[in-house]
Homo-oligomer: A and B are copies of this chain.
């Protein structure tokens, strides 16, 4: 038996400020452009979609932004989240590396998503908003916003990608248990949804379409705003609490990571863990390598283009410069639904261009194999998204073994897999396949990127 161990911050040490990496970057990120004029957008352009305090956070260059007390009050239900040392996994791998993981599955929705949902619901409630619309794939973000809306008295309408709505009814039941309304997308409730359905009545949906529908409703109604679960600066900001806590906990463990590994779809989980460490390095502190892990079937960072693109399919959103597979690209039906997005957070993309991080892509089956190995060693069953980080951490640990180096690896375990056991079942039965995209479709999507004047 090895010694554990869990590093728990006392509640009194839960961060009181979020961390904004933009304050420490050597160059600012490229401007966000208005989809019509292609001029940099102004806060006013965003006002139909977001509450004022959220817009301020979106454009803020301040290093520290205070977490409002009512938000901390809710986060305290499960935060500070534990940091754990994966002693048994180290042993199973026979690696001299020390492996730590920050576990976000302790939230009531089972993932890191409530960290931002709670903040967004609070600011909207404070601004007098009555209803939030959003999109969700597998349902992690939708259930997080449903729970946050319930706490702050907001109605929540979730457009869920049709294929997930039909095939994965459990997170939908969770959203509805929290009182949210869940609509399969494309839906007949929006102009855009009707247009898509007219062309293809059996359309299985995509995050890009669901975003278009949620945005359309929010723009139309005075009392309704839109909430996004990843990609945008303010979402990355809210998630920084993960990395801020992890830094304190690494100090408690009397250790510091040589490598930080996190999975990335839209980028909020990755940024949440990694950005505080990157900023610490930029300010002269210990500088770990930073590794983003994405699915080989939806590889925006490793195969996408760094270019201006839309965040949605109907092209209602602003244009942001990001690593993108093209807004018309439809990723294959990965079990890691939370990583199934054509673009990457502009700020993550910028950090990548600055050379402050690495990116790597792994196949679905290999990631599940890593997840099962982790579950058998450490008892926690990771969400399919988190399996990508587990795979990345295991690869780093095996490298350390080959090189005989006892490096310290920190990875983000962004959620538990209790809602995803059907995918594990398939994997264990040998029925899980690696999903692949069509190279021609990708080339086509990339060739259709919007022409933006430099």
B173 A425 Cβ-Cβ under 8 A: yes
Binds B, one of A43-51, A175-183, A397-405: A175-183
Contact A6 B73, beta carbon cutoff 8 Å? no
Residue A375 is within 8 A (CB to CB) of chain B in the complex: yes
A11 lies within 8 A of B11 (CB): no
Q: A341 on the interface (CB 8 Å rule)?
A: no
Partner of A4, one of B76, B84, B88: B76
Residues of B within 8 A of A448 (CB): none
| Contact A375 B178, beta carbon cutoff 8 Å | yes
> Is A147 among interface residues, defined by CB-CB distance under 8 A?
yes
Within 8 A of B (CB), among A205-234: none
- Our pick among B108, B171, B177, B421 for the contact of A174 (Cβ within 8 Å) is B421
Give every chain B residue within 8 A of A372 (Cβ-Cβ): 177
- Cα distance A109–B178 when bound, in Å? 22
A106 to B106, CA, bound (A): 7
Given the complex, which residues of B lie within 8 Å of A451, measured CB to CB? none
Q: Does A286 contact B (CB under 8 A)?
A: no
CA distance A150 to B176 in the complex (A): 35
Q: Which of A31-79 contact B (CB under 8 A)?
A: 69-70, 73-74, 76-77
Contact with B along A398-429 (1 / 0, CB 8 A): 00000000000000000010110110110010
Whether A173 and B4, one on each chain, are in contact in the complex, defined by CB atoms closer than 8 angstroms, is: no
Quick check: A76 and B376 within 8 Å, CB to CB?
no
Judged by a CB distance under 8 angstroms, whether A379 is at the interface is yes
Bound-state CA distance A151–B4 (Å) is 13
Q: Judging by beta carbons under 8 Å apart, are B76 and A375 in contact? A: no
Q: Which of B3, B108, B378, B381 contacts A177 (CB 8 A)?
A: B381
Q: Is the CB of B70 within 8 A of A177?
A: no
A176 to B375, CA, bound (A): 11
Contacts of A365 on B, CB cut-off 8 Å? none
A201 at the binding interface (Cβ < 8 Å): no
Query: Is A1's CB under 8 angstroms from B179's CB?
Result: no
What separation, in Å, do the CA atoms of A416 and B123 have in the docked complex? 29
Please report the total number of A residues contacting B with Cβ < 8 Å: 49
> Given the complex, which residues of B lie within 8 Å of A11, measured CB to CB?
6, 8
Partner among B110, B379, B425 whose Cβ is within 8 Å of the Cβ of A169: B425
Measured between C-beta atoms, what is the minimum distance from A424 to chain B in Å?
Answer: 5
Cβ of A197 < 8 Å from any Cβ of B?
Answer: no
Docked complex: A259-287 residues within 8 A CB-CB of B: none
Q: Is A447 engaged at the interface, CB distance under 8 Å to the other chain? A: no
> Is A437 in contact with chain B by the CB < 8 A criterion?
no
B-chain residues with CB within 8 Å of residue A5 when the two chains form the complex: 76
Does any Cβ of B come within 8 Å of A380's Cβ?
yes
* A170 CB-CB contact with B under 8 Å: yes
Query: Complex: how many Å from CA A76 to CA B106?
Result: 15
Q: Given A1-B70, A70-B1, A422-B170 in contact, is the A428-B177 Cβ separation under 8 Å? A: yes
Say whether B173 contacts A380, CB under 8 Å. no
A5 to B77, CA, bound (A): 7
- Knowing A4-B73, A6-B77, A108-B381, say if A150 contacts B376 (CB, 8 Å): yes
Q: How near does chain B come to A329, taking the closest CB pair, in angstroms?
A: 31
CA distance A173 to B422 in the complex (A): 7
CB-based contact A375/B73 at 8 Å: no
Q: How far is the CA of A375 from the CA of B77 in the complex (A)?
A: 13
In A1-16, the 8 Å CB interface with B consists of 1-6, 8, 10-11
Residues of A within 8 A of B (CB): 1-6, 8, 10-11, 69-70, 73-74, 76-77, 84, 88, 106, 108-110, 147, 150-151, 169-174, 176-179, 372, 375-376, 378-381, 416, 418-419, 421-422, 424-425, 428
Given contacts A6-B11, A173-B425, 8 further A-B pairs with CB under 8 A are A4-B73, A4-B76, A77-B84, A108-B379, A147-B379, A170-B421, A170-B422, A178-B375
